[in-house]
Amino acid sequence: MVIVSKILIAILALEHFYFLYLEMFLWTTARGRKAFGTTEEFALASKVLAANQGLYNGFLGAGLVWVLLAPAELAKPLAFFFAGCVLVAGLYGGATANKRIYILQALPAALTLIAVLLLGVG
């Protein structure tokens, strides 16, 4: 059943690499503006901030990949740390920026943490 945890971790990592792509490379495009509900003017004015946020999402994705590659004795604490960071970011984003973040970021992180707790990861 550890495979379930690993699949959820991989999905969470891919999701954060996608956020990186949206925020760093598509922020000012029509697709990026639609994804985040922004205007062209706002997107242009906040492009550097969005790229910085995208970079942080990439770090979270990289950490989650590390979980999948780590030896068994490190995988579980790493999973708790990185998925926990994603959960906190999702809860904060949902409370302050957009309620959709609860579903898109916090919920997958919470499900991943529950799976790691119940099923393990390494």
Q: Where are the domains of the chain?
A: 2-119
- Among 88, 63, 90, which Cα is nearest to 77's? 63
Burial of 34 (0-12, 13-18, 19+ CB in 10 A): exposed
pLDDT at residue number 68: 98
pLDDT (tens digit per residue) in 11-40: 999 999 999 999 999 999 999 999 999 999
**Which pLDDT tens digit goes with each residue over 41-92?**
999 999 999 999 999 999 999 999 999 999 999 999 999 999 999 999 999 9
